[in-house]
Chain A
């Protein structure tokens, strides 16, 4: 690179996107991605800091200035390959990472203006490499002769698989669903994470040599014991996510048309109910939809409902906007699409018709009290303040917990009192040879944190399996 030069502060290059009125008519991706010229212009803004602060914000240690420098030079495929040395899923991360609170939050440019658009650039180079058929497989490493089983083909598991295959392990990923991707496949909607891109990222891992066994429910079809004793695996990584949906337990929650967010999204995304009857899985459609909750999953559900033809989509959230856990960008997109926010209220009962289909949600108004354990102000019911919304669909998006299907059948793997797997900083569980990471350890979090956990665990699996007489956990 040339000597340090003073660049004028320019604003970020905006990424073209579908207008709200267009996009509520389809399930296509909302942001359309940079053109090569736009990407280069944005990359030029990067200061190429000697001590890059952005690196500190990346859970998977992407060489951010390095790949952005290659974009400036127009070496887009090389830039993608640079990312792939530490992150095997760049097209995914470029789309769903919360960069604004990670790498971009640390960017020096952000102190006085807008930070470098790292996420958009990552997405651009990954798409460029893939769409132009420039994907190259890294050179084969010497096989270690050791076998690793990965349970769950979600962000954590795929990261472990990608890292270990490059280190010479024989890796098999067991996935319960008929498609890989975990939450990327069943949870995050098509318009945020196109399923063909998930499939292509997984195809890349398979080309590297990862074995993918779909339709295998570890804990049912095969146990963790059998993975070791009968299938000869040397290590097992558990990344099964936190997929047990919570309900509120209010009357009427089992009426037809009341969904958990995971059912609603799984029908729409994985099973493609939005394309019914071309796909066989149906989904209840209606003019009015209430989504209960204020997180990213609630926003995804609301925006999916809008695209399925609902005219009035309400977000019913018991606290105020400030406490909403959803990313700012998701809330913004939802507002642009006409989602109506009903804040400081919570459903207390659902009422149905003679076919037991939901028709009304009775809600209780709330006010905010003292902060609770989460640090957010606690919602308190306002006595006597109730109202009713006419609605044909209710989507309960209040979070999810640990699914016990694997852990119930995995001897020696200790759980905490909420059912999550107890693991140390590098993912080691209480059972030697078994690592865990992602939501099944932390509870519901983000794709990139799960990938970060996968990355750490993969490095530790490698270290453990190559060390002589490694001790599992200190006594």
Chain B
């Protein structure tokens, strides 16, 4: 269990890992996540399952290197194992029989969007995906996402690929043109700030908008409450009640603040880790 079978750097700092995890692969449905630990001293961190192969008994994880934990995991060699992988956790996406769904993927959020988009496509739903990144060289899995989308729109902040601008612009246009209300739901997955603005964009149109939250977690099974989030005035646990919530009900500012609780410690830990690997 948890042996890394393949690893590639998709774009600078974003890695795709193929991990042997037969029990997890057998149970995974789109939208679920795993908790992983790089090594014995490691933190437990949640990662959305980007793909799964029940026959081979593997799951695919995509991670962006931001701190000690992600750096440690990205440095594990093929053939070696992580200290732990636990899952599948969280509630799976509800693949409804809609006419059309819009999947908005920001940055590394492309990975968790992919299996959900595929789930909708397989259920006969028309899938329009909007994939955004800062620039062309940070885009990945464009072909995979396009393959499960009826329409695939790319945006980049600098205009180096697709439409210049943010994902919210084509999203607004789609909703404005959707006079006969064919779009039954919007999924927004990516950095919290991007999800927040996607939700703000869709709110006036009254379209159901689902966000997949990436909070700090420890156990991932409802025991610590570290992942708590305010949804419609009620405290919910991302690990067991989510990770998907009605984005219009999420208190985004609190979520953003809670993601930064350990900013100082994370910087200190990373600095120290870099020193040890360079030594």
Contacts and interface: CB of A to CB of B under 8 A. Distances in A.
The answer on A and B forming one complex is yes
Contact of B88 (A176, A220, A278, A357): A220
A221 B261 contact: no
A362 B188 CA distance: 38
Contacts of A245: 223-225
Interface string A357-381: 1000000000000000000000000
B139 to A, nearest CB: 30
A426 interface: no
A253 interface: yes
Given A221-B23, A221-B86, A282 B262 contact: yes
Size bracket, chain B contacts: 35 or more
A403 B86 contact: no
B57 interface: no
Contacts of B38: 280
A253 B218 contact: no
The B interface is mostly helix, strand or loop, or mixed, namely mixed
Interface stretch (B104-112, B121-129, B176-184, B265-273): B265-273
B254 A271 contact: no
B257 A280 contact: no
A282 B266 contact: yes
A453 B265 CA distance: 42
A245 B265 CA distance: 25
A263 B84 CA distance: 19
Residue with the highest number of chain A CB atoms closer than 10 Å, among B44, B218, B219, B257: B219
A262 B225 contact: yes
Interface string B121-155: 00000000000000000000000000000000000
Contact of A280 (B1, B42, B89, B254): B42
Contacts of B228: 247, 254
A216 interface: yes
Contacts of A177: 219
B84 A216 contact: no
A247 B224 CA distance: 11
Interface in A1-36: none
A347 to B, nearest CB: 15
B164 interface: no
B87 to A, nearest CB: 7
Interface residues of A, number: 43
A220 B87 contact: yes
Contact of A254 (B43, B68, B89, B230): B230
Contact of A257 (B37, B225, B240, B261): B261
The A interface is mostly helix, strand or loop, or mixed, namely loop
A51 to B, nearest CB: 44
B222 interface: yes
B221 A217 contact: yes
A266 interface: yes
Contacts, number: 119
A126 to B, nearest CB: 26
Interface in A263-278: 263, 266-267, 271-272, 276-278
A221 B27 contact: yes
A101 B188 CA distance: 56
Contacts of A257: 261
Contact of A217 (B37, B44, B86): B86
A474 interface: no
Contacts of B229: 254
A178 B225 contact: no
A332 to B, nearest CB: 29
A287 to B, nearest CB: 16
A473 to B, nearest CB: 30
B89 A220 contact: yes
A69 B23 CA distance: 50
Interface in B219-250: 219, 221-226, 228-230, 235, 240
Interface string A166-192: 000000000011100000001000000
A177 B24 CA distance: 15
A254 B260 contact: no
Contact of B235 (A178, A249, A278, A355): A249
Contacts of A279: 41
A144 interface: no
Interface in B183-236: 218-219, 221-226, 228-230, 235
| A-B complex: 6 closest residue pairs judged by Cβ atoms | A356-B257, A282-B265, A263-B224, A256-B261, A243-B223, A260-B225
Given A245-B223, A254-B229, 9 more contacts: A215-B85, A220-B221, A221-B86, A249-B235, A263-B224, A271-B43, A271-B218, A403-B222, A405-B240
7 contacts: A176-B219, A215-B1, A244-B222, A244-B223, A263-B218, A277-B265, A282-B269
Interface of A: 176-178, 186, 214-217, 220-222, 243-245, 247, 249, 253-257, 259-260, 262-263, 266-267, 271-272, 276-282, 284, 355-357, 403-405
